[in-house]
Structure 1
Amino acid sequence: MSTHGPMPRSAWVFPALALLLYALATGVGFDFTPSIGGMIFAAVLLAVLFGTVFAAVHHAEVVAERVGEPYGTLLLTLAVTIIEVALIATIMLGEKPQPALARDTVFAVVMIVCNGLVGLCIFIGGLRYREQDFQVSGSNLYLSVLFVLATITLIMPNYTLTAPGPIYSAAQLGFVSIVTLILYAVFLYTQTIRHRDYFINRDEGKVADEARLSNRMLALSIVLLLISLLAVVLLAKKFSATVDAVTAMVGAPPAFAGVVVALLILLPESVAAVGAARRNDLQKSINLALGSSLATIGLTVPAVAVVAYTLDKQLVLGLNAPGMVLLVLTFVVSMLTFGTGRTNILFGLVHMLVFAVFLFMVFVP
C-alpha cells in the first residue's frame, strides 16, 4: 500500500469486515469446527485478519511519515507490537495454554527475517542487478543488537540456575525485560537521530519531498489505525481457537502456531522489503527486515513478560538444542553476508536454504 495518493479501498474495507466478522461470529456463537463450514470460516478469518494487519500497518506508515522521526518509527513499531502481543497473549491464555508460544514466535520471526526474507531480497536483487550495495555500518548495528537480544532471550534461559528448565525466574525475567527495552530504545535513538545516515542510501537525501498529507487524511488514518488495531485484538480470540483446532486437526507441532503468528505480523513489511529489493534499494529492505526482528524481541518479549507475570503464567523462552544450533548458524551466516557491503545471489540462496531447514525441522523435529 502506498502512503501517498488516495487511500486504497482495502485500508478501510478490511477493518470494517473485521468488525463485522467479529460481531457476526460472536452474535451467533460460531467457532471453528472440523467441517466444511469451519474450514470456510477459518479461511475467511485468516484473509480478513491478514487484510486488517496490512491496513493497520498502512495507516501507521501514513501517520509516521507525517509526524517524522523518531516518533514515526516508534509509532509504527508500537502498532505492530500491539498486534503481536494481542495474538500471542490470546493464544497463550486460550483453552490449551501454550507457555512456549512467545519463544516460538520470536524464534520464527528471527528465522523468517534473517534467513527467509533477507535471503529472498538478496536473491531477487542479485538476479536483477548482479550485485547490490548497502551500508555496512548500519547493518552491523542491527546485527550487534539483534544477536545480544536473541541470545539473552532465547539461549541464556537454558543455562540459568535460579529456576529449573528453559525459563527465567521472576527477577531474571524482569531484569532481562528492562535490559531489552533499554537496548532497543538506544538503538532506536541511534537509528533515527544520532546516526541516521548509517541507515540510508548514500544517493538519498536530496530528493524533493512529496506533497504533505492533509490534516483531514491524517485524522482519518489515525481513526482507521485505532479501528484496525481494535479489530485485530477482538479477532485474536477467534484466531486463537482456530489455530488450536487446525493444529490439532492436522497434527502439527506446537511451534506451528508461532510460525503462523510470525507470518501474520511480518507479511506487510515483507512485501515492502521485497519491493524495495526489486527497485535496487537493498538498504531499505534491510531496514524493514532487521528492524522488524529487533522490534519483536525488544518490545514484544517485555510486553508478554508483563502479561505472564500479571496473570501468573509460566513463560518458556529457552530454545531446544536444534533451535540453538540454527540460531547460531544464522548469526554466523549473517555476519558473513553483511560484512562486505555487497551481495549476490549466492548469499541469498544460502539464507533461503537455512530458512528451509528451519521450516522442515518445525514439522519434522
Structure 2
Amino acid sequence: MKAMVGLAVRSWSVVIPLLAALVLAVSWGRDLGPAVVVLVSAALVGAVLSAVSHAEVVAHRVGEPFGSLILAVAVTIIEVGLIVTLMLSSGDKAASLARDTVFAAVMITCNGILGLSLLVAAARRRLAVFNAEGTGGALATVATLATLSLVLPTFTTSEPGPVFSASQLIFAATASLVLYGVFVMVQTVRHPGDFLPVEEGEHTEHEHDELPSNKQAFVSLSLLLVALIGVVGLAKLVSPSIESGIAAAGLPASAVGVVIALLVLLPETIAAVRAARRERVQISLNLALGSAMASIGLTIPAIALASIWIEGPLMLGLGATQMVLLALTVVVGALTVVPGRATLLQGCVHLVLFSAFVFLAVSP
C-alpha cells in the first residue's frame, strides 16, 4: 500500500493550494462582498485540508520528531507574519493583538488540541500512552516562555500598564529564542527518543508503506508552504468580516485574536487528531506543545524587532482571568503528563479548560 505516497500526487491536494493562492492574489487589497467572503472561506477550508495532507507526506519522509516540528514551525512563522502585518496596518487598535493571539494559541494547543487528542486516543484504547520525559520537558518550556513573556509584563514597574520597557522586551525576546533553540536541539539531536511514540504496536502501522521520494517530499513541502500562506493570507482577508461580526455581536475586541488563532491552528488540530486516531499520541502532543512553544518563542522576538516600526504601546501582560486560566493549564498539564498515560478524564478536563477559555473570551 502506498497511501502516504499517494497523498503527494492526489490532484486535489495539488490544485487546492494553487487555487487558494490564486484567490488570495485576486482578492488581496479589495473590499469583499458577501459572495466573495464565502468563496474566500471555502478556499481557506480547502487550504487547511491540503496543508494537513502534504504535512503527512513530509512527516513520513523525514520521520519523527522532525515531521511535527516542520509543521509547527511553518505554521508559526506564517502566523507571526500575519500578526506583525495586522499590527503595522492597524496602529493603536492592535496594541494587544499579539498578546491575545499568542495566549489564544497557548490555550488552544495546550487544552484544545491536547485534550481532543487524549480523548480520541483514550476512546479507542482506554489509555492514551506517551513519553512523559519529552512531553514534560516541552510543557515546562511552554510554561516558562508564557510566564516570562505574558505574565511578567503585568507586574513590572519600569513602564505604566501591562507593557515591557525596551530592555525588558529585548531580554524576553532573547530568552524566548534561546529556550526555543535549546528545545529544538534537544528534540532533534540530543534526546530525540524522548519525543518518539511509545505505544505498543504504534510503530508498525506505516512501516511497510513505501517512503516518498526526495522529489515527492520536496513537492509536498513546497505545496505545504503555499497552502499555509493561503491559510494565513485568507484568514487576514476574512478578518475584517470577523471583526465586524464580533463588534455587531457586542463581543470584546480580544475575541478577534481567538478567532485568528483558531483559523491558523486548524492544520495542526486536524493533523494531531488524525495522529491520535492512529494511536500515535506522542505525535499529537509534539504538535500541540511544539506549536505553543513556537508561537511564543518566535512571535515575541519578531514583535520585539517590529516594535521599531510599530507606534504606540505594545501590551503583552495578561489580565487576572487569563493568568488564572494559564496557571490552571500548567498545573493540570503537569498532572496529566507525569504518569505518561491518560484516560478519558484527563482529555475531558483539558477540553473543559478550553471551553472555559472560549466562554470567558466572549463573555469576560
Same fold (TM over 0.5): yes
Read off the aligned partner of 1:147 and give its amino acid letter.
A
* Aligned residue among 174, 177, 182 for 2:173: 177
Q: CA RMSD in A?
A: 2.7
In 2, are the aligned partners of 1:88 and 1:261 still within 8 Å (CA)? no
Amino acid of the residue matched to residue 316 of structure 1?
Answer: M
Offset from partner CA, 1:22-55 (integer Å, 9 cap, x none): 34335xx7424xxxx42x3333323322432443
Is 2:328 the counterpart of 1:329?
A: yes
Kindly tell me: are residues 100 and 3 of structure 1, through their superposed partners in 2, closer, same or farther at Cα, counting changes over 3 Å?
A: farther
Aligned pair partner of 1:128 in 84, 105, 124? 124
Query: Are the aligned partners of 2:47 and 2:231 in contact in 1 as well (CA < 8 Å)?
Result: yes
1:361 aligns with 2:356: no
Out of 83, 86, 97, the residue aligned to residue 78 of structure 2 is: 83
1:158-181 CA-to-partner distances (Å, cap 9, x unmatched) read 111111111111221111111111
Distance in structure 1 (CA, Å) of the matches to 2:64 and 2:227: 23
Taking the TM superposition and a 5 Å limit, the aligned residue runs for 1:181-220 are 181-202=177-198, 203=200, 208=207, 210-220=209-219
- Per-residue Cα deviation, 1:256-313 (whole angstroms, up to 9, x for no partner): 1111121122211111222222232222221121111111111122223322333345
Which AA in structure 2 matches 1:86?
G
Q: Is the 8 A contact 1:57 1:79 kept in 2?
A: no
CA distance in 2, matches of 1:358, 1:6: 35
Of 51, 55, 58 in structure 1, the residue corresponding to residue 50 of structure 2 is 55
Question: TM-score w.r.t. structure 2 length?
Answer: 0.87
| 2:5 is the alignment partner of 1:4 | yes
Answering whether residue 134 of structure 2 is matched by residue 138 of structure 1, we say yes
Which residue of structure 2 aligns with residue 275 of structure 1? Answer: 274
Query: What's the offset of the Cα at 1:133?
Result: 1.7
Q: Which residue does 2:110 correspond to in 1?
A: 114
Q: Shift in Å at residue 348 of structure 1?
A: 1.4
Report the CA distance shift for 1:286/1:95 in structure 2 as closer, same or farther (over 3 A): closer
What's the secondary structure of 2:324's corresponding residue? helix
Tell me the TM-score normalised to structure 1 length: 0.87
Q: Is the alpha carbon distance of 1:69 and 1:133 closer, same or farther for their aligned partners in structure 2, counting shifts above 3 Å?
A: closer
CA distance in 2, matches of 1:302, 1:126: 37
In structure 2, C-alpha distance between the alignment counterparts of 1:188 and 1:256, rounded to whole Å: 31
Match of 1:92 among 72, 87, 90: 87
Aligned with 2:144 (options 144, 148, 151): 148
- Equivalent residue number for residue 165 of structure 1: 161
Q: Which ranges in structure 1 are unaligned for 5 or more consecutive residues?
A: none
Question: Could you tell me how far apart the structure 1 residues matched to 2:311 and 2:324 are?
Answer: 31
Task: Tell me which amino acid in the other structure corresponds to 1:199.
Answer: F
Q: Deviations over 1:91-116 (max 9, x none)?
A: 32344731111111111111112222
Unaligned runs of 5+ in 2: none
Write the letter of the residue equivalent to 1:128. R
The amino acid that maps onto 2:343 is: N
Aligned residues, how many? 357
C-alpha spacing 1:186/1:73, structure 2 compared with 1 (3 Å)? farther
Give SS of 1:358's match.
helix
Q: Identity across aligned pairs (percent)? A: 45
Structure 1 pair 53–308 and aligned structure 2 pair: CA distance change class (3 A): farther
Q: Does 1:31 align with 2:31?
A: yes
Task: Give 1:78 shift.
Answer: 3.5
Q: Which residue of structure 2 aligns with residue 317 of structure 1?
A: 316
**In the alignment, is the contact (CA less than 8 A) between 1:94 and 1:241 conserved in 2?**
no
Deviates more, 1:167-176 or 1:235-244: 235-244
Report the CA distance shift for 1:185/1:321 in structure 2 as closer, same or farther (over 3 A).
same
Tell me, in whole angstroms, the C-alpha distance in 1 between the residues paired with 2:228 and 2:116: 29
CA contact (8 A) 1:15 1:55 kept: yes
Alignment partner, residue 340 of structure 2: 341
Structure 1 residues 56 and 201: alpha-carbon distance in aligned structure 2, compared to 1, 3 A threshold: closer
Q: What is the rounded CA distance, in whole Å, between the counterparts of 1:265 and 1:23 in structure 2?
A: 19
Please tell me the residue identity of whatever aligns with 1:282: V
Distance in 2, Cα, partners of 1:294 & 1:44: 33
Q: 1:71: how far off?
A: 6.6
Cα distance in structure 2, aligned partners of 1:68 and 1:282: 15
Q: How far 1:155 sits from its partner (Å)? A: 0.5
CA contact (8 A) 2:247 2:253 kept: no
CA contact 1:86–1:236 (8 Å) conserved in 2: no
Give the 3 Å change call, closer, same or farther, for CA 238–213 of structure 1 in structure 2.
Answer: same
The alpha carbon displacement at 1:251 in A equals 2.5
Name the amino acid aligned to 2:17.
P
In structure 2, do the counterparts of structure 1 residues 349 and 71 end up closer, same or farther at CA, with 3 Å as the change threshold? closer
Provide, for residues 182-238 of structure 1, a one-character-per-residue CA deviation record: whole Å limited to 9, x for no partner: 101111111111111111123566874743323442443344345435545654652
| Higher mean displacement: 160-169 or 10-19 | 10-19
Higher mean Cα deviation, 292-301 or 122-131? 122-131
| Aligned equivalents of 1:233, 1:276: Cα separation in 2 | 23
Match runs of 1:273-312 below 5 Å? 273-312=272-311
